[in-house]
Amino acid sequence: MKIAPMGEVRNHFGKYLKACESEPVFVTKNGKITAVIEHIEDSDIEDFLLERDTRFRRMLDRTKQEKGGMSLKQYRKARGI
- pLDDT value at residue 69: 66
One domain, residues 59 and 73: yes
pTM of the entire predicted model:
0.61
Share of the chain above pLDDT 90, in %: 48
pLDDT of 2 over the 80 cut: yes
- pLDDT 10s digits, 15-32: 999 999 999 999 999 999
Q: What are phi and psi of 62, to 5 degrees?
A: -60, -45
One domain, residues 46 and 72: yes
> Which among 45, 47, 42 is positioned nearest to 75, based on CA atoms?
47
If one compares 11 and 42, the residue with the highest pLDDT of the two is 11
One domain, residues 31 and 46: no
CA-CA distances (angstroms) from residue 39 to 16, 21, 22, 44?
Answer: 10, 5, 8, 10
Q: Residue 57 belongs to what domain range?
A: 42-79
8 A C-beta contact, residue 28 and residue 4 = yes
One domain, residues 29 and 6: yes
Mean pLDDT of 43-47: 83
One domain, residues 70 and 51: yes
Cα 27 from Cα 4, distance rounded (Å)? 5
Confidence class for position 55, pLDDT limits 50, 70, 90 = confident
- CATH number, residue 6: 3.40.1620.10
One domain, residues 24 and 46: no
One domain, residues 48 and 30: no
**Count of structural domains within the chain:** 2
